[in-house]
Structure 1
Amino acid sequence: MNLSVVILAAGSGTRMKSSTPKVLHKICGEELLFYSIECALLLSDDVHIILYHQASRIKESCQARFGDRISFSIQDYDRFPGTGGALLQDGKLLPTKYSKLLILNGDMPLITPSSLQKLILISSPIVLGVITTQSPFGYGRVILESGKVKQIIEEKDANKEEKKVCTINSGVYCFERNLLESYLPKLNNHNTQNEYYLTDVIKLAAQDSICIQSIDVAEEEFCGINDKSQLAQAEEVMLARLRKQAMKEGVIMHLPHTIYLEKSVRFEGECEIEQGVQLFGQTLIKDSHIKAHSTIRDSQIISSDVGPMAHIRPNSHIRQSHIGNFVEVKNSTLRGVKSGHLSYLGDSTIDEGSNIGAGVITCNYDGKAKHQTHIGKNVFVGSDCQLIAPITIADQTLIGAGSTVRKDSQKGDLIISRSEQKNIPQGYFAFFKDKK
């Protein structure tokens, strides 16, 4: 499609009350700005990001994710503040590749390509997305006359009557480039914020009887995020989308509204996710059952069951295994393993047929460095054992309950490491005797 896209991401986002730039706040594990960029790249090969506040930080994040697929411009905020000024370079429209220009905002993570297509396909010099809402506070009002757009008035410049208008500007526009080239240099900053408003282009064009087409768009998709309350609301919407998509692909979800999953989580095969589960990062769930209130982050679970209330930390690869309640696994590879309850398995590899008893700990950290535990096939580790890494437990080793294991084993070993038990006759009564 012969379309250029400009995403406005220069604002400071003061209402977020955060040192993190607003557009780098996340919903479902992904930065707000990245959603807009992904959407834009589905529509165009000419995408520009306008930056100013913490520009280098935002640019670095975008390049790490999208490489050279997008271009950046730094707003000359001292000379040209405001949304209109954002499109100016040396007093002229920033250079774009195509004759049609779509303007998006970096804080609209819920927009979809299909919704934007409705604006793009309308044949008009200017197409404006408008929202009808019962809560217009904080947004520019769209003033219509006989169904046609007359102007857009920013809230700080609106009078009492204008503030009653419930048709608001979505901040998404589609312009003919030559029209912007003509009107942008005519903007002034004679307003309460002393800024160059892109919305004034609408007013100037209306005065010249240029056709301005407005199209109703969904408030859920097009309203921007200005504070952390709106951030949470947007995440709820995105979560509902992600859950619905997963269920359409065959995932069983129990009480889906209680399940948290990030955009990058993948499901394959037949999966079942119970209530209260949290799935983060680059996680793959394949042909597996994740039981209630378990947490999995940046790991692979294949042909296994996990939980309830298990914690799978990053870089864990679990295949054909049973991971029970209150088991924590970190940076480990488990193949055909049973660990039923109350264990910590960190920085370890455990092979098929091995059983890990309750209360087993791989002691991987010596205070300075992390060390590996290697457990072979068909190993039985009794309850309440500590394996002091670095250590290798050979195939078919039996470790008695309550043992602290410091040395490698040989195939077939029985390991018992306990102090001798002493039973003192009448010791109870001696301990609790009446001192008098």
Structure 2
Amino acid sequence: MKKNLSIIILAAGAGTRMKSSLPKVLHKISGKPMLYYSILESLKLSDDVTVVLYHQASLVQKSMESYFKEEVDTGKITFVIQDHKNYPGTGGAVMGITPKHEKTLVLNADMPLIQASELEKFESDAVIVMSVLELESADGYGRVVIENGSVVKIVEQKDASESELSICTANAGIYQFETQFLLQNLPKLNNNNAQKEYYITDLVEMAINANLSLKPLIVSEENFKGVNSKVELSQAEVIHQNRIKHEFLKAGVIMRLPDTIYIEHGVEIEGESVLENGVTLLENAKIINSHIKTNSMVQDSVIENSDVGPMARIRPGSYLKNTHIGNFVETKKAHLTGVKAGHLSYLGDCEINEGTNIGCGTITCNYDGINKHKTIIGKNVFVGSDTQLVAPVTIEDDVLIAAGSTITRNVHKGSLAITRAPLKIIAGYFYKFFGKKQ
């Protein structure tokens, strides 16, 4: 962590190009809002992070506090609501903030691919360090004129001369300022422009006119990619997903057709694990030495020394150890140890112990319309196909449950439980019913 660095994150915009009622910075990439990543990377470098809000400020702040409660409580993160009416624009957003440290890095919250390792490169004695992109074509960007390793001019595309339009060095929009310079010059900004906004880029012009040191930092276009539309959101998520999967692949995870796999930020995978094509891992799923088969989903659950799927769904709160889950099996808050559930079953709010076999079509009837209830199944229980276990209910060890049974009471150790109506056969009824001759 840099002890001399404060960070300001600009997160005030509505993001109209997203065409959404949700604030732009709360649109998610790999399961987390874009702003989450800007804050996460900033905290790796600074203990003084200020997030500037305006559009739906309370919603954005509440969302971020749910992820960073400790950092908010300890003062590492501060939220400031921008005076957008009187001081609009990027320069206006920074006014009124007093950073604690000698240097201040100003970030945009719509750059979710930024990494702390890139932001560390802004280290310099210059009054301003500004990020620039070296592009094949800088069309659509403001141009940056560099001479002898220093920035001598920045110009918006609409104001650029023909020779300036040929420049392929573009402004990436991230700046590090000497804090003293920032505080002294912010009050000098004006809004004498077509948009009637206060621009942070005017500080760059002030530094140039005062012959102060202003250094460019060439940065990666991928890491500094801005997200202003849902098209760009999807493009950024592909990049982010590839980063996540690349790290797991390097750690030894086997992936079949990794481009078809989706893994959210916060997922853990350990040991000799295999992910087949179409697998989805959500929230804080943890996979340990396990095989997740085609088109299965694991959400906020732990899978250890087990195999799941194909086409299984492991819902939040499940813990599976030494267990086989087959196709079309769904679990929710299910703790299974040494269990086999081969196909077409729902196991919710239950504990099932080793050696137990769950037959096809078994359902734990855990919800009575008002409350959820628990099913407990002991060791070495054989549950026949098409069984309904009406919770709350306990099945002790060494029990046999006949196929087609509905279990509404506890079953003691060593018992057979069976609830079947006697089979009744009426000879010749087919012909009578349909009016046909034998």
For the criterion TM > 0.5, the same-fold answer is yes
State percent identity of aligned pairs.
52
For residues 320-339 of structure 1, what are the structure 2 equivalents within 5 Å? 320-339=322-341
**Distance apart, 1:180 and its partner CA:** 1.7
Distance 1:417 1:134 in 2: 75
**Distance apart, 1:300 and its partner CA:** 0.6
Alignment check: 8 A CA contact 1:134 1:166 kept: yes
Task: Give the alignment partner of residue 114 of structure 1, picking from 108, 112, 117.
Answer: 117
Alignment check: 8 A CA contact 1:151 1:199 kept: no
**Distance apart, 1:21 and its partner CA:** 1.5
Distance 1:31 1:207 in 2: 39
Distance 1:259 1:163 in 2: 42
Task: Give the alignment partner of residue 77 of structure 1, picking from 58, 61, 84.
Answer: 84
Residue type of the alignment partner of 1:374: I
If the length of structure 1 is used for normalisation, what is the TM-score? Answer: 0.93
CA change 1:366–1:149 in 2 (3 A) is same
Task: Name the structure 1 match of 2:249.
Answer: 247
Alignment check: 8 A CA contact 2:103 2:178 kept: yes
Q: Does 1:386 align with 2:393?
A: no
Distance 1:61 1:134 in 2: 38
Task: Name the structure 1 match of 2:103.
Answer: 100
Task: Name the structure 2 match of 1:25.
Answer: 27
Alignment check: 8 A CA contact 2:15 2:23 kept: yes
Q: Which region of structure 1 is more displaced relative to structure 2, 324-333 or 423-432?
A: 423-432
Task: Name the structure 2 match of 1:16.
Answer: 18
Alignment check: 8 A CA contact 2:225 2:236 kept: no
Task: Give the alignment partner of residue 353 of structure 1, picking from 352, 355, 373.
Answer: 355
CA change 1:203–1:42 in 2 (3 A) is same
Distance 1:311 1:232 in 2: 25
If the length of structure 2 is used for normalisation, what is the TM-score? Answer: 0.93
Q: SS at 1:233's partner residue?
A: helix
Distance 2:377 2:426 in 1: 38
Task: Name the structure 1 match of 2:171.
Answer: 169
Residues 211-260 of structure 1, C-alpha deviation per residue, up to 9 Å, x if partnerless? 32112211111021111111111111111011011111121111111110
CA change 1:136–1:14 in 2 (3 A) is farther
**Distance apart, 1:62 and its partner CA:** 2.1
Residues 124-149 of structure 1, C-alpha deviation per residue, up to 9 Å, x if partnerless? 11111111335656543334567753
Residues 136-187 of structure 1, C-alpha deviation per residue, up to 9 Å, x if partnerless? 56543334567753443456x5468566654322111111122222322221
**Distance apart, 1:123 and its partner CA:** 2.8
Residue type of the alignment partner of 1:110: L
Q: SS at 2:154's partner residue?
A: strand
CA change 1:393–1:138 in 2 (3 A) is farther
Task: Give the alignment partner of residue 95 of structure 2, picking from 88, 94, 98.
Answer: 88
Gaps of 5+ in 1: none
Distance 2:239 2:135 in 1: 18
Alignment check: 8 A CA contact 1:364 1:371 kept: yes
Alignment check: 8 A CA contact 2:10 2:53 kept: yes
Number of matched residues?
429
Residue type of the alignment partner of 2:419: S
**Distance apart, 1:402 and its partner CA:** 1.1
Alignment check: 8 A CA contact 1:152 1:200 kept: no
CA change 1:352–1:100 in 2 (3 A) is same
Alignment check: 8 A CA contact 2:149 2:215 kept: no
